[in-house]
Amino acid sequence: MKTDFLTVEAIEAFDRDGYILVNDLLDVEETELLGRIARQDRILSSRRTSRADGEGGAVELVVENQLQADCIYSAIVQGQPLVSAMESLLRDEVYHYHHKMILKEPRIGGAWTWHQDYGYWYNNGCLFPDMASCMIAVDRATRENGCLQVLRGSHRMGRIDHLKRGDQTGADMERVTAALKRMELVHVEMNPGSAVIFHGNTLHRSDQNQSEYPRWAFICCYNARSNDPWKDGRHPRYSPLNRLEAGKIAAQGHCHWNRIQQSETV
């Protein structure tokens, strides 16, 4: 994992724009291991759920609340450079809120409506939007395969009302339409291993995957310690993170891969 990527300029950009890009957050070995493990992981595959997008497609995802030993997903979440960056951006100690894999398959991967993450997490007992996510590209993310889109500076709008649309919950489109006329829409295209870190109130969405290429992404979600939920919700309350040195992520990945290989021979 890349170290020392969070400059003063990057923090200023996050405060101003509600997101920052980090090219090559994971190195080549870590990126290759993440993709190989995710696609061979029977446990991940068995936990896939689907959310219809109301446009004829569906988004598949796997959400996990717990961290495990010798697991590449947990190793990335606990990577010291990423955790430290999140703490600098949120100005507080952070903890693991949850992590998830988004699986947009070729031709059938669905869209995700405009929303704020805090639009969901607000209902889990989090009083403040002091929360952020890091989306890491497992596959190359392009406009054609439904890359993330963000509305630059939209986090400064505060929390927007969210309404149910089919299997998804999205932001009030009357307000989103007004925001689209005043703020820049950015398509976040990324190479595998690169990442985008975005604020809990940043409006974002994605299109259907109309290409012949998959678009999988791994997302680490963090909450500030001072924002520990006041009631039980679907994601955990505060517990301290066991931080992992950047150079140890690949080692955890190899342990994970060996476990998958052994399970296939049983």
36-53 tens-digit pLDDT: 999 999 999 999 998 777
Model's pTM, two decimal places? 0.95
Q: How confident is the model at residue 266 (pLDDT cuts 50, 70, 90)?
A: low
φ and ψ at 181, to 5 degrees?
-80, -15
Q: What is the torsional sign of CA 48, 140, 41, 222?
A: negative
Nearest to 96 by CA among 244, 254, 256: 244
Q: How confident is the model at residue 168 (pLDDT cuts 50, 70, 90)?
A: confident
**Structural domains in the chain?**
8-265 (2.60.120.620)
Q: What confidence tens digit (pLDDT) does each residue in 142-164 have? A: 999 999 999 999 999 999 999 87
pLDDT higher than threshold 80 for residue 54 = no
Q: What is the torsional sign of CA 181, 147, 169, 52?
A: positive
